[in-house]
Amino acid sequence: MKILLVDDEEELVSTLAERLSLREIDADWVTTGEDALKRVDTENYDLAVLDVKIPKISGIEIKKKLAVKCPDMKFIFMTGHGSEDNFKAGSAEAGPEYYLPKPVSIKTLIKKINDVLRK
Amino acid sequence: MQSLKPKFWDHEDVASGPSKDLFNFRRIWKMTVLLTAGVAIVPLILVATIDYNVTQQAIESEILLRTSRLVSNTKRAISFFLKERMSALDFINQDNSFDELSNPARLKEILKNLKQGFGGFVDLGVIDASGRQQTYVGPYKLEGKDYRDQEWFKKVLRRSIFISDVFMGFRKVPHVVIAVKQELSNGSFYVLRATIDTERFNELLSKLELAGLGDTFIINHDGILQTPSRYHGRVFGKIFLPVPNYAERTQVFEEKDLNGKALIVGYAYLTQTPFILMIIKHKGELMKPWYRTRLVLILFLTISIFIILVVTLGVVTYLVESIYVADRQRVMTLHEVEYSNKMASIGRLAASVAHEINNPLAIINEKAGLIKDLFILREGYVKDKKLVDLVDSVIYSVERCAAITRRLLSFTRGMELNIQLLNLEEVINEVFGFLSKEAEYRSIAVSVDAPADIPQLENDRGSLQEIFLNLFNNAFAAMSDEGHLEITVRQQDLNHVSVTVADDGSGIPQSDVKRVFEPYFSTKTKQGGTGLGLFITYGLVKKIGGTISVHSEVGKGTSFFITLPLHIKNEESNG
C-alpha cells in the first residue's frame, strides 16, 4: 500500500507522512499539483489524500488529472472547509464519505484509508 | 378609547431632515381630517345658514304681509259700515226738508226705517244752527238740549261730518255718535245727529279669525279701547301699547308685550273718525310651523355633520393606517435586508477565519501527534506518563479548537435553505455548544429532553440553528444565575415535532407578550438588544414551515413553543 499526500502546507504533509510511516504505511508527500502529477510518473500509488484548496491547481483539478493518469487510484479529500462551496465540491467529487475535515486525527485517517482501499 | 386608537398614533418617527413631515402620520391624519371634513362641512353649514335666514325672513315678511292685509280688509269693512251710515244720514238730509225733519212723527218714521234698513241706530235728533236740539226721537228726553258749547258741535260745524268717540249710553251699552251738517238755502244750517250702538262694530271685529292669542280692537287717538278686546282690556280701558303714529296707510310693526314676548302689531287710522283699528298677533304662535321646520333643518344638519365626520374619520384613519403599515413594511424590509447582509458578512468572515485557523491547527495536531507517536514507539519515553499526558493535553486542546471552528463553519446563516435530514437533538446540542461556557460560568442548568424515537426531520440546519440560538440567547438574558432552561422535544403527530424552550427567568408582562414578535420591540434596549431577534426567529420559523407561540408569566418564566414539519414542503423551502 502506497499513499501520496498532497497539501500546500509542507509542515502538515511531511509530519503526516512521517506518522503514517511510523504505522508502516508507505506515504510520500508533495506540496503542489504539478509535483503530484510528476510523482505518479515514477511511482505507483494506491491512494492520494488531497487538500481541496491548493494554490494554482485545486485538489479537485488534481484529482481529475490523476484519475486520467492512474485509473485505479483512489482519493480522499481533506479540507479546512473554507466555504460551503468548497465543501459541496469536495463531497460531490469524492462522495461525502471520502471527505475529512481538518484537523483530522490519525486514527480517523487510517480508518478512512483502509475503508477506501477495501472497496 | 385605547382600543380605538390607531397604531400610528403613538408612532414616533426617527426620520429627520426636510422629509420628516412625510412620516409624521398623526400630522397627516389631522391635516387630512381637517381638510376633508372642512371642505364638506363648511359649505354645508354655509348653505344651511343662508337657507335658514332666507326662509325665516320669507316667513316673517309673509306674516307681516298677511297681518297688513287683514288690517286693510277689516279697515275697509268698518269704514264701509260707518260710511254707509253717514251716507244714510246724508240721504235723509237730502230727501227731507228741515221742516219735515223737525216733525217728530216724520223723524220717528225715519228712525224706524233706519233701524230696519241698517240696524244699530238708537236715536235721531235734529239740531238747529243755534245748537239747540229741535227734534229728538229715541229713548232719552233730550229735546231742547243745547249743544252750542259742546266740542263735537263745534267740530261738526267745521267738518260737516262728525263721528264721536265711543261713550257709555243710557243702558250701559257703548255707543257712538254720527252727526251730519246740512246747509240751508237761506244760508243757515242744521245738524242731523244719530247714536249708533257699537254692537255691530264688535260683531265685525269678532268675526275675524285670529289664531291663539291674536286680538283685534279699535282705540281712539288717546289709546282708549273703543271696543272690547280679548286680551288687552275692556272698553274704555287704556292699552299698554303706545298710540301708533299717524299713517295714511296700513302699518305693521313688531313690538314686545309686557312679558317681553314678540308681538306683530298692525294698525290703520280710520279716516274721518277718531278710531284706530289694531290687530295684535303673537309672533311665536305664527312662527310655530317654522320652528318645527327649523328643528328638522337643524336635525338634518347635525346628522349630516355627524355622518360626514364619521365617514371622514373612518376613511382617513383607514388610509393613513394603510400608509403607515406600508411604510412599516418598507422599513422592516430595509432592516431585514440590512440584517441578513450583516449576518452573511459575519458568516463569511467566520468561515474564512475558521479555515485559516484550521490549517495551523492541523499542523499542531500532526506535530503533537508525531511527538506522541515517538513517545509511544520509543521505550525511553513511553513510561514517562507526564510527557504523554502533556502531549495528550495539547491534542485535546486542538480537538476543542477544531470543534469550535467546525461549529463556526457549519453555522451557515440561512440565506438559502439547504434541506437535509437532521437529528433535532443533535442540532440543539450543537447550538447549545456555543453557550455551554456561559451556562457553566453562570451555573445555569440546561436539560434537553428528547426521546430516542423522535424521527429525523427534513429541514435546513442553518435556520434551525439560528432559531434555537436566538431563543437560547433570549432565555439566558432573561434568567438570573443558577436558572433552569428546559428544552423538550416531542413528536406532536405523524407529521410534526414540537420543541418547547422554557426558562424560569423574569417573564414578560401580559401587555407585552403579544408584541414580542414585532420588530423593534425590545425590553433589552439598554443592554444592546436590537428588538429584531424574535422578529427574525418568527420569520425563520414561518420560512421553514413551522409555527411559534409564547406563554409567559412575570416572575415565573417564559416558554416558547415551536412546531416543525417532519417534511418540509417545496413551496416553503422556495419561499
Q: Tell whether B409 lies on the interface with A, counting CB pairs under 8 A.
A: yes
Residue B560 C-alpha cell reads as 416558547
Minimal Cβ distance to B358: which of A18, A22, A103: A103
A109–chain B nearest CA distance, Å? 12
Mean pLDDT of A19-47: 92
Minimal Cβ distance to B377: which of A22, A101, A106: A22
Q: Which of A112, A111, A106 is nearest to A18 (CA)?
A: A106
Greatest C-alpha distance within chain A: 36
Whether B412 shows a pLDDT value over 50: the answer reads no
The nearest alpha carbon in chain A to B413 belongs to A84
Is B366 close to A102, i.e. CB distance below 8 A? no
Residue A36 C-alpha cell reads as 503530484
The amino acid occupying position A33 is G
Q: Which residue has the cell 465540491?
A: A89
A73 touches A94 (CB < 8 A): no
Name the burial class of residue B391, with classes exposed (0-12), middle (13-18) and buried (19+) by CB atoms within 10 angstroms of its CB.
buried
User: What residues are paired with A3 via a beta bridge?
Assistant: A27, A47
Q: Which of A3-7, B248-252, B462-466, B559-563 has the lowest mean pLDDT?
A: B462-466
B-chain CB neighbours of A31 within 8 Å are: none
Task: Give the separation between CA B244 and CA B280, rounded to whole angstroms.
Answer: 13
Q: Which of A61, A54, A57 is nearest to A78 (CA)?
A: A54
Q: What is the dihedral of CA B539, B544, B547, B553, to 10 degrees?
A: -60
Task: Give the separation between CA B414 and CA B460, rounded to whole angstroms.
Answer: 8
Mean pLDDT of A40-62: 88
The nearest alpha carbon in chain A to B412 belongs to A84
Mean pLDDT of B273-302: 90
Q: Tell whether B387 lies on the interface with A, counting CB pairs under 8 A.
A: no
Task: Give the separation between CA B509 and CA B451, rounded to whole angstroms.
Answer: 33
Confidence of residue B34 (pLDDT cuts 50, 70, 90): very high
B253 touches B65 (CB < 8 A): no
Task: Give the separation between CA B384 and CA B400, rounded to whole angstroms.
Answer: 25
Question: Taking chain A, what is the end-to-end CA distance rounded to the nearest angstrom?
Answer: 14
Q: What percent of chain A has pLDDT over 70?
A: 86
- Residue B414: the pLDDT is 42
Minimal Cβ distance to B365: which of A23, A80, A103: A103
Task: Give the separation between CA A98 and CA A93, rounded to whole angstroms.
Answer: 9
Minimal Cβ distance to B358: which of A22, A102, A106: A102
**Mutation for A interface: B345, B352, B353, B359, most A CBs within 10 A:** B359
Confidence of residue B523 (pLDDT cuts 50, 70, 90): low
- Residue B159: the pLDDT is 85
- Residue B367: the pLDDT is 92
DSSP reduced 3-state for A71: coil
Q: Tell whether B3 lies on the interface with A, counting CB pairs under 8 A.
A: no
- Residue B403: the pLDDT is 72
Is B351 close to A84, i.e. CB distance below 8 A? yes
A26 touches A2 (CB < 8 A): yes
B421 touches B454 (CB < 8 A): no
Whether B312 shows a pLDDT value over 90: the answer reads yes
- Residue B184: the pLDDT is 87
Residue B414 C-alpha cell reads as 440561512
B-chain CB neighbours of A80 within 8 Å are: 354-356, 358-359, 362
Query: Phi and psi dihedrals of B200, rounded to 5?
Result: -70, -35
Whether B329 shows a pLDDT value over 70: the answer reads yes
pTM (two decimals): 0.52
B88 touches B117 (CB < 8 A): yes
Is A15 close to B369, i.e. CB distance below 8 A? yes
Query: Phi and psi dihedrals of B472, rounded to 5?
Result: -65, -40
- Residue B435: the pLDDT is 83
The nearest alpha carbon in chain B to A103 belongs to B362
A81 touches B354 (CB < 8 A): yes
Confidence of residue B7 (pLDDT cuts 50, 70, 90): confident
Confidence of residue B388 (pLDDT cuts 50, 70, 90): confident
- Residue B530: the pLDDT is 57
Q: Which of B267, B265, B264 is nearest to B285 (CA)?
A: B264
Minimal Cβ distance to A12: which of B356, B363, B402: B363
Is B351 close to A83, i.e. CB distance below 8 A? yes
Residue B531 C-alpha cell reads as 428588538
Task: Give the separation between CA B81 and CA B197, rounded to whole angstroms.
Answer: 12
Please tell me the number of Cα atoms within 13 Å of B390 on its side-chain side. 8
- Mean pLDDT score of chain B, rounded to an integer? 84
A-chain CB neighbours of B361 within 8 Å are: 102-103
- Residue B575: the pLDDT is 36
Name the burial class of residue B465, with classes exposed (0-12), middle (13-18) and buried (19+) by CB atoms within 10 angstroms of its CB.
buried
B565 touches B464 (CB < 8 A): no
Q: Which of B539, B329, B335 is nearest to B321 (CA)?
A: B329
Task: Give the separation between CA A51 and CA A79, rounded to whole angstroms.
Answer: 5
Secondary element (H or E) of residue B394 = helix B385-410
A-chain CB neighbours of B351 within 8 Å are: 81-84
Mean pLDDT of B234-258: 89
- Residue B572: the pLDDT is 42
Whether B526 shows a pLDDT value over 60: the answer reads no
Whether B133 shows a pLDDT value over 50: the answer reads yes
Secondary element (H or E) of residue B220 = strand B215-220
- Residue B171: the pLDDT is 66
B462–chain A nearest CA distance, Å? 12
| B416-450 tens-digit pLDDT | 566 778 888 888 988 888 788 888 888 889 899 98
For chain A, the helix, strand and coil percentages under 3-state DSSP, each to the nearest 5: 50, 20, 30
Greatest C-alpha distance within chain B: 192
DSSP string, B169-214: -TTS-EEEEEEEEEE-TTS-EEEEEEEEETHHHHHHHHTS---TT-
- Residue B413: the pLDDT is 41
- Residue A56: the pLDDT is 86
Q: Give residues 187 to 246 of B whose Cβ lies within 8 Å of A.
A: none
**Mutation for B interface: A52, A86, A88, A102, most B CBs within 10 A:** A102
Mean pLDDT of B460-483: 86
Count contacts between A and B (CB, < 8 Å).
73
A17–chain B nearest CA distance, Å? 10
For chain B, the helix, strand and coil percentages under 3-state DSSP, each to the nearest 5: 50, 20, 30
The vertex-A17 CA angle with A16 and A19, nearest 5°, equals 65
Minimal Cβ distance to A9: which of B363, B370, B377: B363
B573 touches B417 (CB < 8 A): yes
Task: Give the separation between CA B108 and CA B123, rounded to whole angstroms.
Answer: 9
Residue A16 C-alpha cell reads as 503526516
Instruction: Give residues with Cβ within 8 angstroms of B198, minimum separation 6.
Output: B120, B166, B173, B174, B175, B176, B226, B227
- According to DSSP, residue A100 is labeled E
B562 touches B498 (CB < 8 A): yes
Task: Give the separation between CA B427 and CA B487, rounded to whole angstroms.
Answer: 12
Q: What is the dihedral of CA B360, B362, B366, B371, to 10 degrees?
A: 50
The nearest alpha carbon in chain B to A10 belongs to B363
DSSP string, B239-261: PSSPPPPP-SS-EEEEEE-TTS-
B379 touches B505 (CB < 8 A): no
- Residue B573: the pLDDT is 41
Task: Give the separation between CA B233 and CA B238, rounded to whole angstroms.
Answer: 7
Mean pLDDT of B236-242: 88
Question: b/e string for B100-139 if b means 16 or more Cβ within 10 A?
Answer: ebeeeebbeebbeebeeeeebbbbbbbbbeebebbbbbbe
The nearest alpha carbon in chain A to B396 belongs to A105
Is B354 close to A80, i.e. CB distance below 8 A? yes
Q: Which residue has the cell 420588530?
A: B519
Q: Which of B4-8, B91-95, B185-189 has the lowest mean pLDDT?
A: B4-8
